[in-house]
Amino acid sequence: MTSSREGFSFRTYSLRNPKYLLFSTYTNILSTERGVAPLSSTSSLLNTYEDFVKAFHPKSGLDLKFYKQNQMQRRILSFMNTHGHSSYQPFLNALNADSVLYDAFFKHLTINVSQFFRDANQWKTLRETIFPLLLQNKGPLKLWSAGCSSGQEPYSLAMTMMDHFPTTKFTVLGSDIDVNVLKQAHDGVYKQNDFASTPPEILLKYFTPLDNGYKLKDTVKQQVTFKHQNLLTDSFQSGYDFIACRNVVIYFTDEAKEILYKKFTNSLRPGGILFTGSTEHLFGMNQLGLKSISSFFYQKQ
């Protein structure tokens, strides 16, 4: 399966299909060695936040108008100040010229924060209540971690299934808009602070120690497929039993949240469950056709 963002062509990666690489083609590169398309620049200088948003979108694929302006503008200005830029046009020029700066900025915007088994009580609910409920359907489980960052969440889903439901067939998809974190997910190498919530027996069973962290064993990596995806603009597959989207929509506008949650609901099978972050409550769930079955877990009717 292939997914694309203007300036790139990506293929879904899975160790089940080793001939596929996560990044298949880089085009329109900033330099001869890096795959980031030059950012759009208007004929006049960029003087406002709105000008920057319009110029940044076409080649980055990230439409900042779907993010709350006050919070996002603060994040952008903070990054600009840290890197010695006081106005938008010189900063845009610097992003065009410096791929390392572009990568750092994109990562800063997309807020990639995750851990294995983050929020332990919610994973306990998942093991003891949610997955047993889904397994009443008696078919293979189709699981998706949307906005998966560097893979900790989809790998946690896979390890939970392997450890607690070893006879159940399942698939896990992890998707994210940031290609750099997806590369880390594919590599499966993590630092010590990624394991603050990881049970010691899981760490021992599924990871190999390294000098500065751990490497995930192939037995787990083989269970997860990763793909590049823009949640707001790309189409979704259907028939999911379970979708986790946690701490992704924190800075989204209400309009963007409505778009996304409708898409998630349409992608769930009847009886499927949406898992949200601890700061993300669904207030219009009845209109979406969802009902709360536990804190942060919503079932499609």
| pLDDT interval class at 26 (50, 70, 90) | very low
Task: Report, as an integer, the average pLDDT of 103-112.
Answer: 83
Residue 243 lies in domain: 120-300
| Whether pLDDT at 7 is above 80 | no
Q: What is the pLDDT of residues 216-235, one digit of tens each?
A: 999 999 999 999 999 999 99
For residue 79, tell me if it sits in a domain: yes
In this structure, the answer to whether residues 168 and 224 fall within a common structural domain is yes
In this structure, the answer to whether residues 8 and 36 fall within a common structural domain is yes
> What's 152's domain CATH number?
3.40.50.150
Q: Map tokens 């890197």 to a residue.
A: 83
How many domains is the chain built from?
2
In this structure, the answer to whether residues 20 and 89 fall within a common structural domain is yes
Q: What is the pLDDT of residue 29?
A: 28
For residue 115, tell me if it sits in a domain: no
d(CA 224, CA 15): 8
| pLDDT interval class at 139 (50, 70, 90) | confident
Q: What is the pLDDT of residue 108?
A: 87
Listed residues 63, 81, 110: the one ending a domain: 110
In this structure, the answer to whether residues 209 and 165 fall within a common structural domain is yes
- Concatenate the DSSP letters of all residues of 134-166 into one string: HGGG-S-EEEEEET-TTTHHHHHHHHHHHHH-T
| pLDDT interval class at 39 (50, 70, 90) | low
In this structure, the answer to whether residues 161 and 285 fall within a common structural domain is yes
